[in-house]
Structure 1
């Protein structure tokens, strides 16, 4: 029997974010590109526009009024694991890394100080994403 995860375990940051264009590298939709609609951090999954489409059967419910009855078969995107997608950069795909940049920040009283900011970078080109 596998060990259970601790409830107060720190969350892993995901390298793919909402709005990124990704390419599917494994599964039935391999090769498809799309925009990330949402990120499910707890399950380590992403929902990509036009990828992993499934049909959902919804019950007919009488809502009343002008809306009438809603129901039937709805086609929607299902989540896929984040390891099955890669970030698109230019013509190809790239892995994502992080870099700590030193920045100057300003306090409310007008004084300045240096701090560090984490930015995503392309592993292939080294440019900021």
Structure 2
């Protein structure tokens, strides 16, 4: 996956198209990411009288497919490529500018 945790991304497809946020979690096995403030769902939590907890409705972010987000560089979405350094390390680069990300 070309998107990692802490990256700034923009949603390019779906109900939250145009929204930007930081990647909170990356789930590479499922090809999904959790983005801050995007794809919000409401989860109902059942009350537990024995434990003294009230029931509540929690709003949280759900994962979205990585193909629906684009990495942002300088406020614009960019495509990501790879380059290998001379010492063999793999570096992400912007396809548009060629700069390291």
Please state which band the TM-score falls in when normalised by the shorter chain. Answer: over 0.9
TM-score (norm 2): 0.94
Cα separation, partners in 2 of 1:63 and 1:119, compared to 1, 3 Å: farther
Task: Extract unaligned runs of 5+ from structure 2.
Answer: none
1:79 lines up with 2:69 in the alignment = no
Structure with the largest fraction of strand: 1
Give the Å deviation of 1:62.
4.0
Bigger radius of gyration: 1
Q: CA separation of 1:59/1:30 partners in 2, compared to 1, >3 Å: closer, same or farther?
A: same
SS at match of 1:93: strand
The reply to whether residue 23 of structure 1 matches residue 10 of structure 2 is yes
Shift in CA distance, 124/75, structure 1 to aligned 2, threshold 3 Å: same
More RCO (CA 8 Å, sep 6+): 2
For 2:50 and 2:17, how far apart are their aligned partners in 1?
Answer: 40
- Unmatched segments (≥5 aa) in structure 1: 1-13, 104-115
Tell me, what secondary structure is at the counterpart of 2:67?
Answer: helix
TM-score under structure 1 length normalisation: 0.75
Is the Cα–Cα contact under 8 Å of residues 63 and 70 in structure 1 kept in the other structure?
no
RMSD of Structure 2 on Structure 1 (CA):
1.2
Total equivalences in the alignment:
101
- The 3 A distance-change label for structure 1 pair 40 and 92 is same
